[in-house]
């Protein structure tokens, strides 16, 4: 199944990557690797993770304080947000 990131989710991913790279070179790369693993698991088992709100599910990363918020569409999975778990919890709802 194809996975699409919204424009906002892509930007959040890039912002987090750059932040982690500034904090510790190589950490941003580890963050992106964990995101790739999460996306792979979501595509394999899209309904395995709990519902956050309505039709939006959440996949919580293991090493970083982020979660992927996604919806299962007819022919793809849509990543709505790459959300930090400790900041503005419901900011993504209007997307």
Q: What angle do CA 25, 81, 11 make, to 5 degrees?
A: 50
Q: What string of pLDDT tens digits covers the 95 residues of the chain?
A: 899 999 999 999 999 999 999 999 999 999 999 999 999 999 999 999 999 999 999 999 999 999 999 999 999 999 999 999 887 766 666 66
Instruction: Show the tokens assigned to 45.
Output: 């088992």
CA distances from 80 to 4, 8, 28, 69, 86 (A): 9, 7, 20, 5, 17
Find tokens 């190589």 and name the residue.
Answer: 26
Domains of the chain (ranges, CATH numbers)? 2-88 (3.30.2310.20)
pTM over 0.95: no
User: Residue 37 is inside which H or E element, if any?
Assistant: helix 27-44
């Amino acid at each position: 199944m194809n996975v699409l990131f919204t424009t906002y989710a892509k930007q959040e991913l890039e912002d987090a990557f750059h932040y982690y790279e500034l904090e510790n070179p190589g950490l941003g790369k580890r963050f992106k690797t964990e995101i790739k693993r999460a996306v792979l698991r979501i595509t394999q088992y899209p309904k395995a993770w709990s519902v956050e709100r309505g039709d939006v599910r959440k996949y919580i990363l293991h090493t970083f304080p982020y979660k992927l918020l996604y919806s299962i569409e007819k022919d793809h999975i849509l990543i709505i947000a790459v959300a930090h778990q400790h900041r503005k919890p419901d900011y993504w709802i209007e997307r």
